[in-house]
Amino acid sequence: MTLGETLIEVWRQVLVEGKPRVELVDNSYPVTATRAKKLRTVQFEYASHHVDGIEQNPETASRWALLAREGKRVMQFTVGRRYIANVSEGELVRYPAWQALELPE
């Protein structure tokens, strides 16, 4: 699976299916929740990259939060504390950091 396909798969398992663990080709990763907002999060490895995924907080002022308030399922992904992409309703949107970090397609 490509990195993009992996992000969509993680989104699907966490936000669509509500699984307690994300099952990827090589491993299984627990889904946890943040203390304050109870947003679902998952940490996993892709190639040599540590990737964090977090459910979009609907209470912020971003356009993604607006979608979350409308009932859309949105998950943000970071590598090295830089936002690289999000998945909203199964659609991947890459951020400029994806290229800056030279992440694989």
DSSP-assigned states of every residue in 26-85: S-EEEEEE-TTT--EEEEEEETTEEEEEEE--TTSSSHHHHHHHTT--EEEEEETTEEEE
Tens of pLDDT, residue by residue over 75-89, are 999 999 999 999 999
The pTM score is: 0.95
- Domains identified in the chain, total number: 1
Query: What tens digit of pLDDT does each residue of 11-32 get?
Result: 999 999 999 999 998 899 999 9
Domain hosting residue 29, numbered range = 3-100
**Residue 105 falls within a domain, yes or no?**
no
